[in-house]
Structure 1
Amino acid sequence: MFKRLAITAALAFSLASAAQAESVVRYGISLADIPLTSGQPDRGAGAYKFTGYTLYDPLVAWEMDIADRPGKLVPGLATAWKVDANDQKKWLFTLREGVKFHDGSAFDAAAVVWNLDKVLDEKAPHYDRRQAAQVKPRLPSIASYRVVDAKTVEITTKAVDSFFPYQMLWFLVSSPAQYEKLGKDWDKFALTPSGTGPFKLDKFVPRERAELVRNPDYWNKNRLAKVDRLILLPIPEVLARTNALITGQVDLIETPAPDTVPRLKQAGMRIVENVTPHVWNYHLSVAPGSPWTDLRLRKAMNLAIDRNGIVELLNGLAKPAVGQVDPASPWFGKPNFQIKYDPDAARKLLAEAGYSKEKPLKATFVIAQGGTGQMQSLPMNEFIQQNLRDVGIELDFKVVELEVLYTRWRKGAKDEMNADVTSNNIAYVTSDPLYAIIRFFHSNQVAPVGVNWGTYASPVVDGYLDEAMKTFDVAKQDELLAKAHAQIVDDAVLVWVVHDTNPHVLSPKIKKFVLAQHWFQDLTTIGVD
């Protein structure tokens, strides 16, 4: 009897020790829900770090394990890609060998084509409208694709597009075998997903939590997760999220409440920021009937905003924006219109257009209540609302949940869904030529084809961008993009406010975390003692 009790006690001690040995990190995220887990995450670009690049991989990846310089394209599930010398619309992707999905099935060219069908071919039996809505606008160049052999896929673009590999950063590959096993049901797949990524989904409660566990068999040994379990906890309200960190309910958070920064530092927390190609803006409609078809009013909006005041509101966790990209970017160019805080100049332009404080211009913008990438949506919008009131613009807001805002954005300014607004307020990733400029400002990207939300069309800008997409000379690409950007700023297409610095706050428990100069982040870099 004594021996049996001793064995039982030893077993209990062993199990307890094993449980204690598991390294766990609890991450308070700014979203109201866990992003879609079936392959293509919803809730914007920031969601890729949560259920995108954790559970899945792209063919072409982004370098995310460095912080002191911008990353670059690196091999993912494809070890190489090249354009066909005889037909520059054809791209050949050489696939990585020996990769397995979480369910044990093999990754190959057939799986890639199956996944492309999943989001691009509405007639495919496994087409998923929800995933397609997330990624189809991110793949505007694809015309066709086919299996060449088990380790080679050919993708043909609609026109010569030297920037096409950047689009493939957003295309993630899920397991066809797991989909079949679960009865060809994407809802069931979302509960038990299977990708090739560095984490597996262990537990999932919508709007409450997702628990990811380390994949010890991950193919990229340089990207093995440093913690055993990563728990994602949606806490959309900024003060609640910040307090959860201070009280020890979570171990790190994104986007803290700015006025709590001194308190966080006093509590021993570490605030991490970095240069981030991401701009918080208003995308104005220039569709017929919108007041913003008048260039004077677009310029007045840009001149009426106190960007330094916004940075102060955010306790320094932002940088004033004077265009789509930072002036340090090779794509900034030499615009003639200088974006700055000049309320007198704004009033003059408004007066020329027939408006004043006594006879204000009235408009309604659609904004998000919060969420990743939106920084401090409500406080920032309220601050700007007062700025605009001071010069003669009365702004009302239609406040919606983030995914509703994205739906309105994809529909475009001309859609009846947006008949009640003349601008959206989605913050934009500006990391590469496609994402910084082409998809927002080329006339062939007018929604719903792409995300040129406001229907902007400039033959000058189109010409520069068309030429840039046809050249594979990087210096020439930069020159053409800079000319296009200068024209876009001169046309005041957007109202640019601030660039994000993507602030994260780490408790003393977190010893390692690389904050890359991108909106993509690699959560495998999170490490504890």
Structure 2
Amino acid sequence: MRFRQVFGVTALAALLLLSQQPVRADTTLRIAMTASDIPTATGLPNNGFEGMRFLGYPIFEGLVLWELASTDHLAGLRPGLAEKWEQAPDDNKIWIFHLRHGVKFHDGTDFNADAVIWNLDRYFKSDSPQYEIASSAMTRARAPLLSAYRKIDDNTVAISTTKPASYFPFMAVYILFTSPASFEKAGHDWAKVATLPAAGTGPFRITKVVPRQEVDLDRWDGYWDPAKKAKVDHLVLMPIPEANARLAALRSGQVDWIEVPPPDGIASLKSAGFNITTGSYPHVWPWFYNIGASGSPFKDVKVRQALNYCIDREGLVTLLNGTAEPSAGWLKASDPNFGSPVNHYKFDPVKGKALLAEAGFTPDKPLTFKAMISNSGSGQMLPLPMNEFLQQNLKEACGVNVEFDVVEWQLLLTAARATPDSPNLKGAMVLNVSSPSSDVGIMARYFSSATFSPNGFNFEQWKDDEFESALTTLAETTDPAVITSALRKAHERLVDNPPWLYIVHDLNPRAMSPRVKGFVSPQSWFVDLTLVSLQ
């Protein structure tokens, strides 16, 4: 009897105490993406790095992850599903990854070496039951040096590369892992995996996918890193490809955050109390020259250099209301690794026309070509008005005629992996695909002669012997001084023998409700959504 009395008093006191505590509101952060559809939700999303930003790392993780909590330096790497990694002492083409213990997928199954091998088979073993062509194409292109892998024990795997590559972890960061149980539950049908939904290991889990409308995520309270548990309860991601439509969605309260606000709306957003975030990050917005195509005018380096002198980058930055900066190379001119190239690209129509004339293009025989562009997409900024500016600029400054083929973003990405004379290009001699410029791994993917399309990202099929020599040095050394010297040399060749028309570097603008707190704009294409809260 006395026990019941004491228990009753204690319970009553507890209830009174709880009734006096403030009730924590359920928080939902709503984000408008630039994508025209929901990125694929099977564990390796399409739609470029915007897909990885929102439907990749928040849900599905890699052995290696990005460090995204700082704004004052380029994002580096941190341990993810692997606690540590190193090159094998007897073979620098073998990397040993030591897996994190006790990690569970969102469906409660174990993450271990078997799950790693199963996922690698999904990407790299064409006769495996779980092989998926679309995800394989993206992963092979992002990690082109991976050649073999094996399980050492339940918590250790070995991954081999085709040649020594000190920068391989910067490729491994793009290999994401999905629960094998998702594939089994979907009856070995990847098209059905996304509707389950698929299970990852990240700080958020997918709860609902509505194609072309939204994808809903919930905070995963079982996340393996207590320090990285998300602060919001839910995320809603919406594809809104048109910039003014994103602006209207933010103003009306439909969303809390929009990617890439229209430049002419930034001042009014600020005056209305919305927050505009910008920041330097490793991003270049270029045109890719189709050097390898039959009869391509861009086989001549003088033509490639000429266009780099013909465009008015400062004028384009003004059009963008200062949300970009002029590009004179793959890296920013302020980067210590930019080097000292012979060419210093700026708006110089006289020099541009002289180079075109040397290559045989005159007012009587003007340079004329087709460019394939998108209407929106990951990192694409505002491609329609930007490309229209360039079209008029090239015509007026250097007499160059440019025709556009406007396609959906994912089609443009697919085209960038086509061979130079592929019918899918419809005769395009230029592709406008934004690019990361974050590390040597990316440089190797885009410019190494070993990564010619369709096997890699060297769409241009550009080859430069001095660049190749510098890249080999970078791959085989760990000496910081040697790395710096080789990287500068490699970049000088990208400027003087340009595979691209370098246009602008994006300053990564976003617009957010004043309710959004804690957002960090890192020097990366990706963001840490666990830091964000809502008031």
Q: Give, in whole Å, the separation in 2 of the partners of 1:18 and 1:422.
A: 62
Q: Does 1:242 align with 2:209?
A: no
Q: Give, in whole Å, the separation in 2 of the partners of 1:411 and 1:18.
A: 58
- Partner letter of residue 284 of structure 1? Y
SS in 2 for 1:439: helix
Q: Deviations over 1:448-506 (max 9, x none)?
A: 12111111111111111112111122331221111011012101221000001111111
Q: Does 1:252 align with 2:257?
A: yes
Q: Does 1:213 align with 2:222?
A: no
Q: Does 1:163 align with 2:167?
A: yes
Q: Does 1:475 align with 2:481?
A: yes
- Partner letter of residue 275 of structure 1? S
Q: Does 1:408 align with 2:415?
A: yes
One of 409, 424, 430 as aligned partner of 1:423: 430
SS in 1 for 2:164: coil
- Partner letter of residue 269 of structure 2? L
One of 494, 500, 509 as aligned partner of 1:488: 494
Q: Deviations over 1:63-120 (max 9, x none)?
A: 0112222221110000000001111111100000010000000000010010000011
Q: Give, in whole Å, the separation in 2 of the partners of 1:182 and 1:351.
A: 60
| Displacement after TM superposition at 1:177 (Å) | 1.8
SS in 2 for 1:21: coil
Q: Give, in whole Å, the separation in 2 of the partners of 1:418 and 1:160.
A: 34
One of 50, 57, 61 as aligned partner of 1:57: 61
Instruction: Kindly report which structure 2 residues correspond to 1:98-109, keeping only aligned pairs within 5 A, or say none.
Output: 98-109=102-113
Higher deviation after alignment, 338-347 or 468-477: 468-477
Q: State the partner residue of 1:456.
A: 462
Instruction: Kindly report which structure 2 residues correspond to 1:137-176, keeping only aligned pairs within 5 A, or say none.
Output: 137-176=141-180
Q: Give, in whole Å, the separation in 2 of the partners of 1:301 and 1:413.
A: 20
| Displacement after TM superposition at 1:413 (Å) | 2.0
| Matched-pair contact (CA < 8 Å) for 2:140–2:455 | no
Q: State the partner residue of 1:114.
A: 118
One of 354, 357, 367 as aligned partner of 2:360: 354
SS in 2 for 1:145: strand
| Displacement after TM superposition at 1:232 (Å) | 0.4
Q: State the partner residue of 2:296.
A: 290
SS in 2 for 1:456: coil
RMSD of aligned alpha carbons: 1.6
SS in 1 for 2:42: coil
| Displacement after TM superposition at 1:327 (Å) | 2.2
Q: Does 1:34 align with 2:44?
A: no
Classify 1:370/1:357 alpha carbon distance in 2 versus 1 (closer, same or farther; 3 Å): farther
Q: Deviations over 1:312-334 (max 9, x none)?
A: 11111001111001123243111
Q: Give, in whole Å, the separation in 1 of the partners of 2:129 and 2:336.
A: 44
SS in 2 for 1:170: coil
- Partner letter of residue 280 of structure 1? W
Q: Deviations over 1:177-208 (max 9, x none)?
A: 22212222212211111000110111110000
Q: Deviations over 1:387-432 (max 9, x none)?
A: 1101111000111000000111011324332251111110001111
| Displacement after TM superposition at 1:19 (Å) | 11
- Partner letter of residue 360 of structure 1? P
Q: Deviations over 1:207-244 (max 9, x none)?
A: 00011010011011121111001100111000010111
Q: State the partner residue of 1:66.
A: 70
Q: Deviations over 1:149-187 (max 9, x none)?
A: 000000011111111111011010000122212222212
| Matched-pair contact (CA < 8 Å) for 1:282–1:495 | yes
| Displacement after TM superposition at 1:41 (Å) | 0.8
Instruction: Kindly report which structure 2 residues correspond to 1:334-353, keeping only aligned pairs within 5 A, or say none.
Output: 334-353=340-359
Higher deviation after alignment, 347-356 or 292-301: 347-356
| Matched-pair contact (CA < 8 Å) for 1:412–1:451 | no
Instruction: Kindly report which structure 2 residues correspond to 1:254-403, keeping only aligned pairs within 5 A, or say none.
Output: 254-287=259-292, 288-390=294-396, 391-403=398-410
Q: Does 1:86 align with 2:93?
A: no
Q: Deviations over 1:367-401 (max 9, x none)?
A: 11111200010000000001110111100011100
| Matched-pair contact (CA < 8 Å) for 2:418–2:424 | yes
Higher deviation after alignment, 125-134 or 209-218: 125-134
| Displacement after TM superposition at 1:305 (Å) | 0.7
Higher deviation after alignment, 296-305 or 64-73: 64-73
Q: State the partner residue of 1:7.
A: none
- Partner letter of residue 349 of structure 1? L
Q: State the partner residue of 1:187.
A: 191
Higher deviation after alignment, 63-72 or 261-270: 63-72
Q: Aligned pair count?
A: 513
| Displacement after TM superposition at 1:358 (Å) | 4.5
| Matched-pair contact (CA < 8 Å) for 2:194–2:209 | no
Q: State the partner residue of 1:3.
A: none
Q: TM-score, normalised by structure 2?
A: 0.94
Q: Does 1:433 align with 2:440?
A: yes
Q: State the partner residue of 2:9.
A: none
Higher deviation after alignment, 241-250 or 89-98: 241-250
Q: Give, in whole Å, the separation in 2 of the partners of 1:244 and 1:281.
A: 29
Q: Deviations over 1:108-140 (max 9, x none)?
A: 001001000001111111101121122110111
Q: State the partner residue of 1:44.
A: 48
SS in 2 for 1:154: strand
- Partner letter of residue 392 of structure 2? Q
Classify 1:213/1:487 alpha carbon distance in 2 versus 1 (closer, same or farther; 3 Å): same
One of 216, 233, 237 as aligned partner of 1:232: 237
Q: Give, in whole Å, the separation in 2 of the partners of 1:395 and 1:368.
A: 15
| Displacement after TM superposition at 1:307 (Å) | 0.6
Q: Give, in whole Å, the separation in 2 of the partners of 1:474 and 1:226.
A: 38
One of 196, 200, 204 as aligned partner of 2:205: 200
Classify 1:209/1:137 alpha carbon distance in 2 versus 1 (closer, same or farther; 3 Å): same
| Displacement after TM superposition at 1:295 (Å) | 1.5
| Matched-pair contact (CA < 8 Å) for 2:183–2:190 | yes
| Matched-pair contact (CA < 8 Å) for 1:41–1:134 | no
- Partner letter of residue 343 of structure 1? P
| Displacement after TM superposition at 1:356 (Å) | 3.1
Higher deviation after alignment, 92-101 or 512-521: 512-521
| Displacement after TM superposition at 1:21 (Å) | 2.1
| Displacement after TM superposition at 1:257 (Å) | 0.4
Classify 1:285/1:118 alpha carbon distance in 2 versus 1 (closer, same or farther; 3 Å): same
| Matched-pair contact (CA < 8 Å) for 1:102–1:194 | yes
Q: TM-score, normalised by structure 1?
A: 0.95
- Partner letter of residue 34 of structure 1? I
- Partner letter of residue 151 of structure 1? N
- Partner letter of residue 76 of structure 1? G
Q: State the partner residue of 1:9.
A: none
